[in-house]
Amino acid sequence: MFRIAKSAPRRWELSGNRLRQSGANVVQDEQHLILAARRGDSNAFGKIVRTYQDRLCTALLHVCGSPDEAEDVAQEAFVQAYVKLANFAGESAFYTWLYRIAFNAAISRRRRRREETSVEQTRESTGQEPFDDTEPAEERVLREERAAAVQRALALLSDEHRAILVLREVEDCDYDEIAQILGIPVGTVRSRLHRARLHLKEQLDSVLGEAERHK
Amino acid sequence: MTRELPDELLSAYLDGEVTAEERAAVEAHLATSDAARQLLSELQSLRSDMGALPRAKVAADFSDRVVQAAVAAKAASQPVAVPARPARRRWMVVAAAVAATAACLLVAVQFWGPDSPPVAIPGQSVDPLIAAFHSALPEDGQAVVIRVRAPKDMPLTALEVASAIAGIGSQVPSARTGGSELGAAYRSQLEQRIGAALLADSTVSAAEAVFVESPVANLEKMLTTLQQNAKGSLELRREAQLAFAIPRALPGEDAEGSDAAKLVQGAAIYLQHLPANMFRLEKQTTPVAAAAPSGTINPNRIVRVLILIEQVEAQ
């Protein structure tokens, strides 16, 4: 199981197509690693895994709702990616391709295990092990309560709404990347994302209202 | 917002995903609409909330475990099992527990591929796991429950990888596939045989449960891949054989074109996960012995199998 770190940076330095714009050398390195891994160089694949493991697990945490399941799905996605690496044509960023594999695996798991997943488990998975010891305790508690409420509201959304919100707000994907990963037109991304935000707002108001009534 | 300016433009505006024209239209609307400004502010607040969600950091050995599993899965994905031509079949690594039975596995097995007639190969050897699988195959109109003993250090995700490599895709459980009904029939039979009072003490919970409907060849491929992942230590045996009712078309479905009809025609190849904690297995203290198959094996025959994985300490 992985740790939950609240103080990680908001945006990723290595992010999809933006990586191409900001660091051609990094892209070339990644391409070399992919080619080497395709030839069977497991060390090269290990470097790719280490580059994306935290990012992928963070996204999956919010799709799956459970740290353990997110890590299982991430492992499954990396394994599938390695086995199918010859099929990666480089038409999209490697991470986009990897995320698509992971996303499909996560949704598939969620559907078949929906009966076993409880909102409480999701709630418990948030706000663990804060690392920032300098933050005043009161602020930390408020922030964690808010994060737990958001996480709970997120868990109440449909899979498709939760997924698109994670891609946009956690993964910082632009609409084109979201369209590629979900396999939907950009116009649908725009409308679905907006509906997802409205539903999240609705659920968050409900969760916060409920918490307020219990105080 | 007005009808001329859909709400979703506000989200797109917030994300910087609007054209210059759309931006001008949104900004003009924001200048005159309190409601639009309020909604934009709420959407911005939501973005901020999502951005503050906790982030994951995996354990230090995560990448090592992933690479190890990936290398094993890739090695297992090489074409080694169920060849169309039996002459290319080769010996696989076998479990020590079943090695003693190898002598009796030098059996005559017939295989025929999609475009080749049945061919008898006297003396052809097969992996003991596959031989055990052959001997566990159901009779026509029946389905079987198969128990697979796997070492605890074999990740359960290996099953998913193995099924994917074998071309058996996951399917969401539904009333049309019959997996749940077969599972219920097995549980009922087990309870009758052991007695409800002794069930908890005499059985262990399955670690994983999957219902598979597939040609024999794909199941062989899946088991062979799994066997390689388990370093040859898998054991397999049939726990039960049950009559299998062909799933009915759901109300409102066209029976001919429905999934149920495809299942009847044997066109479906799929695996569905069932809640493992619903399935019990009789406690076993002795290794499971493989049995020699009899008759001929048609790799294209569609069979229905409930596979229950039991995790045991690695030997």
Asked if B67 and A204 come within 8 Å (Cβ–Cβ), the reply is no
pLDDT average, residue stretch B170-199: 71
Q: What are the tens digits of pLDDT across the range A164-210?
A: 999 999 888 999 999 988 889 999 999 999 999 999 999 999 988 87
Kindly identify which residue of chain B lies nearest to residue A173, measuring between CA atoms: B15
Q: What are the tens digits of pLDDT across the range B238-282?
A: 888 887 765 544 444 344 444 444 443 444 678 877 777 778 888
The DSSP bridge pattern shows strands B270-274 and B169-170 to be parallel
Share of chain B above pLDDT 90, in %: 16
Question: pLDDT band for position B177 (50/70/90)?
Answer: low
Q: Phi then psi for B182, rounded to 5 degrees?
A: -65, -40
Q: What are the tens digits of pLDDT across the range B85-97?
A: 333 333 232 333 3
**Which string of DSSP letters, residue by residue, matches A53-111?**
HHHHHHHHHHHHS-HHHHHHHHHHHHHHHHHTGGG--SSS-HHHHHHHHHHHHHHHHHH
Q: What are the tens digits of pLDDT across the range B197-215?
A: 777 777 888 888 888 888 8
Asked if B52 and A191 come within 8 Å (Cβ–Cβ), the reply is no
Q: What is the pLDDT of residue A202?
A: 94
Residue A129 pLDDT > 60, yes or no? no
Share of chain B above pLDDT 70, in %: 68
What are residue B57's DSSP bridge partners? Answer: A3
Q: What is the pLDDT of residue A112?
A: 64
The residue among B115 and A57 whose pLDDT is bigger is A57
Provide the CATH topology of domain A16-213. Rna Polymerase Sigma Factor; Chain: A (1.10.1740)
Residue B140 pLDDT > 90, yes or no? no
What is the token pair recorded at B101?
A: 């039975």
Q: What is the residue type of A201?
A: K
The whole-angstrom separation of Cα B169 and Cα B270 is: 5
pLDDT average, residue stretch B130-152: 86
Nearest to A207 by CA among A162, A140, A145: A145
Q: How far does the CA of residue B197 sit from the closest CA of chain A (Å)?
A: 26
Helices A137-155 and A186-213, axial angle in degrees (round to 10) = 120
Q: What is the pLDDT of residue B123?
A: 44
Q: What is the pLDDT of residue B227?
A: 87
Cβ neighbors of A165 (< 8 A, separation 6 or more) are: A154, A157, A193, A196, A197, A200, B50
Q: How far does the CA of residue A191 sit from the closest CA of chain B (Å)?
A: 6
Residue B126 pLDDT > 80, yes or no? no
- CB distance from A174 to chain B under 8 Å? yes
**Residue ranges covered by each domain of chain A:** 16-213
- CB distance from A179 to chain B under 8 Å? no
**Which string of DSSP letters, residue by residue, matches A127-146?**
S-S---TTS-HHHHHHHHHH
Question: pLDDT band for position B101 (50/70/90)?
Answer: very low
Q: How far does the CA of residue B61 sit from the closest CA of chain A (Å)?
A: 10
In this complex, the residue of A61, A143, A190 whose CB is nearest that of residue B8 is: A190
Q: How far does the CA of residue B175 sit from the closest CA of chain A (Å)?
A: 13
CA separation, residue B18 to residues A164, B23, B24 (Å): 18, 6, 9
Q: How far does the CA of residue A112 sit from the closest CA of chain B (Å)?
A: 6
A-B contacts at Cβ under 8 angstroms: 162
The residue of B41, B66, B174 whose CB has the most chain A CBs within 10 angstroms, and thus the best one to mutate to test that interface, is B66
Kindly identify which residue of chain A lies nearest to residue B71, measuring between CA atoms: A42
The ipTM, to two decimals, is 0.73
Q: Are B53 and A62 in contact (CB under 8 A)?
A: yes
Asked if B77 and A83 come within 8 Å (Cβ–Cβ), the reply is yes
Residue A92 pLDDT > 70, yes or no? yes
- To the nearest 10°, report the CA torsion of B151, B157, B158, B160: 140
Partners of residue A111 in chain B, C-beta under 8 Å: 172
What is the token pair recorded at B313?
A: 């300490």
Predicted TM-score (pTM) above 0.80: no
- CB distance from A66 to chain B under 8 Å? no
Percent helix, strand, coil in chain A, to 5, is 75, 0, 25
Asked if A168 and B172 come within 8 Å (Cβ–Cβ), the reply is no
Q: What is the pLDDT of residue B180?
A: 73
**Residue ranges covered by each domain of chain B:** 8-51, 62-312
Residue B105 pLDDT > 90, yes or no? no
